Structure 1
Amino acid sequence: MTVLAACLVFAGRMLAVEYDVMRTKAASVRQAGGLSGYQDVIDSNRPSEALPPRSALFRGIMRAHAAAAEPGKAAALLRLATADMGHALAARPAWGEAEVSATYLAMLRDGPEAACTLDALRRSYSAAPFLRGSAPWRIRYAASVWRLLDPAIRSRVVDETVWLARATDHTYGYARGLVAQTPAAPLVDARLRAGTD
């Protein structure tokens, strides 16, 4: 009987966590789609540590996007987003999506050429060399700071761009467009012509 009760308590907690994550993710989708009904998540005073890591990640991303859209509130929102992202990464070190989000956050907070932003980009590639959802932003950002990247990171950017180009018939031109008119473009084109991964 005690084991059954413990199992029920555990299942109840897991359901609560999943509900929290789904609610926060849905708010994030509404924000990204330009819809209403997400501001309460951004404004929540619930401490980062009280959130499931995935909820912290979604809320941190939402706050970062809000900071980019509301310069008057940017400093406070970036502080809150940094706390959310810190909790997500502390709970799940080397989490690719969180590392890319941390790069975006560092870019907003410290600038695209700041050492901490470039370090965050490096960590994101170490955590996950290929990320379907985040690849376009990461490739575009990396191409914009190409001259500041070391050869190892440049190689990873080319790898990810080639991977994205070959993912489907529809992504070939799109992926090449992400690096068009940048020093990465000839390297990507050469790899695509060579037909080697």
Structure 2
Amino acid sequence: MAGVSIVMPVLCLAGVAAAGYLAEREWVTQTIILAMRDPLNEGQAVLADHADDPPEALGDRAKAGLAELALMSAGRAQSRGERLLDLVRADRQIAELNRSRPAWATTRILTAQADLITHPSASSLGVSAYVASYRAAPFLMHEARWRIAYGASVWNRLPDATRQGLLDEAEWLTRFDNSQRPAIEHLLGARPAAMAYQFRMASGHLPSAD
């Protein structure tokens, strides 16, 4: 019985420590997510505080949030050094996500976004990641506009299934909130994807989010 009396407190302490660790990780995750609402100010502070945290200290949502903040910062960087630092920070988190959740749509989108900053014409790696994002998640509210704009710019390099996925998402977003239609049309520009979108909307086809 003496052995049991020793083991039980140890197990309780281990449980408390594990709960505290998980709570701290969730607090960091929520801090990062909230900072994304204000990437110019709060986002920069959070990026500076957590960009160099060890991977095991961050959950996947936190890693994705940090990567997105770093990519936004890279897009605004005033110097080559700042831009490279932000890209290194983003690439570090994206590399971790590619190890832990390679098939996650967010991982595929972040990979394509990082590639686009380095290769403004989009490399085959970025296009492949973009295509994979539709296989992982056909409809995304937060990332839909970016996917529509990116897909329109590389339309001629997309397989037919991905083109249809882009049109499905664009139509779904328009049907969800028709006030977004002018913004979607602006993202599509005067490209072949725009003509396909207008034809789709005129046909009355309605995609399913199931």
2:61 aligns to what?
A: 54
Unaligned ranges ≥5, structure 1? none
Distance 1:37 1:94, change over 3 A: closer
Report the more deviating stretch, 46-55 or 128-137: 46-55
Task: Say if 1:42 and 1:109 are closer, same or farther in 2 by CA, change over 3 A.
Answer: farther
Q: How does 1:178-189 map to 2 (within 5 A)?
A: 178-189=187-198
Amino acid at match of 1:61: E
2: CA distance between counterparts of 1:143 and 1:190?
15
Measure, in 1, the Cα distance between the counterparts of 2:137 and 2:42. 32
The 5 A counterparts of 1:77-88 are 77-88=86-97
Native 8 Å contact 1:165 1:176 kept in 2: no
Q: More displaced, 89-98 or 60-69?
A: 89-98
From 167, 172, 181, the equivalent of 1:172 is: 181
Say whether the 8 Å CA contact 1:146–1:183 is kept in structure 2. Answer: yes
How many residues are treated as equivalent by the alignment? Answer: 195
> CA deviation digits over 1:164-183, x for unaligned, max 9?
11112322333333223110
- Superposition deviation, residue 122 in structure 1: 1.0
Aligned position for 1:29: 37
- Identify if the C-alpha distance between structure 1 residues 18 and 142 changes in structure 2 by more than 3 Å, giving closer, same or farther: same
Q: Which amino acid aligns with 2:22?
A: M
What is the one-letter code of the residue matched to 1:41? L
Q: Indicate if the aligned counterparts of 1:161 and 1:176 stay in contact, CA closer than 8 A.
A: no
Between 180-189 and 2-11, report the one with greater CA deviation.
Answer: 2-11
Report how far residue 37 of structure 1 moved: 6.2
Q: Which runs of 5+ in 2 are unaligned?
A: 1-7
Alignment of 1:30-109 (within 5 A): 30-31=38-39, 34-36=40-42, 38-42=44-48, 44-70=51-77, 71-72=79-80, 73-109=82-118
Q: What is the TM-score normalised by the length of structure 1?
A: 0.86
| Contact 1:28 1:38 (8 Å CA) reproduced | no
State the identity as a percent: 26
Which of 128, 134, 137 aligns to 1:128? It is: 137
Q: TM-score, normalised by structure 2?
A: 0.81
Q: What CA distance in whole angstroms lies between the structure 1 residues aligned with 2:71 and 2:170? A: 25
